[in-house]
Each structure stands twice: as structure tokens, then as C-alpha cells.
């Protein structure tokens, strides 16, 4: 068995078909912020910290339209691409690098677990 540096760089969080288009699922992170993974109606996937930049509303429960989610609490619109609030609202939530490979979703380990991860 050889070990490449790339092994473990990405966290496999499961098959893409676990999230229906227009929906999201959450990924609890021990010792860290819960993450929301979104599947848009045009078949893009995005991951953000599951806390609205306004008052930490659960973005995973918001309405997805285009590459935007509307927060379920006070209807701020948050870009899934950048994590920035749109329109007149200001704030930003961290985004998590995500890739798809062979029908599965991967998140960048370092972004999920932080630099402390061994
Ligand atoms: S907490 Fe999201 S809009 Fe207020």
C-alpha cells in the first residue's frame, strides 16, 4: 500500500443523489460549525456554513432559487457561490470547497475541520 499526500485531503460525504435538486442536507461537524450542502435546480452543488450571516438562521432550511438561498428566518438572500448576502444586506458566511467525483460529494477536509485537524 502506498500513501499519497492527496489521500484524506477530501472528505467523502456520500452520493450526490442523497440530495434532491432544490434541497439541502446538513453535515454536523464535531467541534466545528454545521455545514449545509445544497443541490440547486440546475444541478450545481455548494457547501456553506449552516448559519445565516444575519442572525445565524439555518440556511439549509431556506428556499433555493438559482444559485441563491433565501434564509428561512428573515428572508435575506445569500449567494451559494460566495456566501455573501445580496441586495442591501451585508454579511458573509464561509463557503466550503466542494467537488464531485464518480457520483459522490467531497468537501475539502481542511475547510471542514479547520487547521487544527491532524
Ligand atoms: S437570520 Fe437569516 S435573514 Fe435573519
Over the stretch 8-29, which tens digit does the pLDDT of each residue have?
Answer: 799 999 999 999 999 999 999 9
Please write the tens of the pLDDT for every residue from 38-84: 999 999 999 999 999 999 999 999 999 999 999 999 999 999 999 99
Of the candidates 100, 96, 48, 101, which has an alpha carbon nearest to the alpha carbon of residue 76? 48
Residue in 60, 61, 63, 71 to alter for ligand 1 test, most ligand atoms within 8 A of Cβ: 71
Q: Is 74 in the pocket of ligand 1 (CB under 6 A)?
A: yes
Structural domains of the chain ordered from first start: 10-113 (2.102.10.10)
pTM for this predicted structure: 0.89
Half-sphere exposure of 34 (CA within 13 A, CB side): 15
CA dihedral 82, 30, 57, 106 (to 10 degrees): 40
Give the residue whose CA is nearest to atom 4 of ligand 1: 74
pLDDT at 57: 98
Best mutation site among 54, 58, 72 for ligand 1 pocket (most ligand atoms within 8 Å of CB): 54
Report phi then psi at 74, rounded to 5.
-130, 20
Amino acid at each position: 500500500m502506498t500513501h499519497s499526500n492527496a489521500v484524506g485531503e477530501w472528505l467523502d460525504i456520500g452520493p450526490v443523489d442523497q440530495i434532491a435538486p432544490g434541497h439541502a442536507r446538513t453535515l454536523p461537524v464535531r467541534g466545528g460549525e454545521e455545514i449545509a450542502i445544497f443541490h440547486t435546480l440546475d444541478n450545481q452543488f455548494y457547501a456553506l456554513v449552516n448559519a445565516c450571516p444575519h442572525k445565524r438562521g439555518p440556511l439549509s432550511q431556506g428556499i433555493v432559487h438559482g444559485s441563491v438561498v433565501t434564509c428561512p428566518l428573515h428572508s435575506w438572500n445569500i449567494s451559494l457561490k460566495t456566501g455573501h448576502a445580496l441586495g442591501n444586506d451585508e454579511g458573509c458566511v464561509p463557503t466550503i470547497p466542494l467537488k464531485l467525483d464518480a457520483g459522490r460529494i467531497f468537501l475539502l477536509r481542511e475547510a471542514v475541520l479547520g487547521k487544527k485537524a491532524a
